[in-house]
Amino acid sequence: MAVRKIKTGDAECLYKAAKPVKAFDNKLAELLDDMAETMYKADGCGLAAPQVGVLRRVVVIDCSEERDGLIEAVNPEIIETSGEQGGMEGCLSFPNETGYVIRPNVAVMRAFDRNGNQFELRGEGLLARAMLHECDHLDGKVYKRLVIPTPDEYKED
């Protein structure tokens, strides 16, 4: 495993759509391992392959406080959303920046694991936010384009 460099700011790969993964092989396993190590090292709760310069539909997520809830999703797609939540959001590709974003409170994602087995995952709250944020990266979208004016409850004194 290795920590990869996280692309930031105006790196072109952050604004391009990623291509589906077709081969569930050692190269994919290495990418997933490296992405998890990179995410944990950067103290993030999610990372998409374009953020490390790889235009493939791969994300890793871990919103658990113990950092023992790693989710690996290959070719993920959001198949259902409901509700609404708003909150401050950041991104490893835009260090030291945050913005208020409104997203669905519940999301259901269909994806494959590293071995090509399909699964569905229902996320609520922070997990739903992370799933939606990372899947946006796969379509070349960054959270900064979703930022709205900050409600009073989030304004700094």
Cα 104 to the chain's mean position, in Å?
Answer: 15
Q: What is the pTM of this model?
A: 0.94
The single-letter code of the amino acid at 4 is R
Give CA–CA dist 103/83, Å, rounded: 8
pLDDT at 97: 94
CATH classification code of 12-154? 3.90.45.10
Token pair 């930031």 is found at 8
Q: Is the Cβ–Cβ distance between 66 and 30 less than 8 Å?
A: no
Min mean pLDDT across 27-41, 84-98, 143-157 is at: 143-157
pLDDT at 26 exceeding the cut of 90: yes
Question: Which tens digits make up the pLDDT trace of 123-149?
Answer: 999 999 999 999 999 999 999 889 888
37 is catalytic: no
Cα distances (angstroms) measured from residue 4 to each of 33, 51, 106: 10, 9, 31
Give CA–CA dist 44/35, Å, rounded: 11
Min mean pLDDT across 17-31, 36-50, 101-115, 135-149 is at: 135-149
pLDDT at 151: 76
Domain residue spans in the chain? 12-154
Q: Of 66, 84, 124, 134, which one is the catalytic site residue?
A: 134
Question: Which tens digits make up the pLDDT trace of 69-120?
Answer: 999 999 999 999 999 999 999 999 999 999 999 999 999 999 999 999 999 9
DSSP type of residue 125: T
pLDDT at 155: 67
pLDDT at 157: 54
Q: Is the Cβ–Cβ distance between 73 and 59 less than 8 Å?
A: yes
pLDDT at 1: 80
Angle at alpha carbon of residue 43, lines to 152 and 110, rounded to 5°: 85
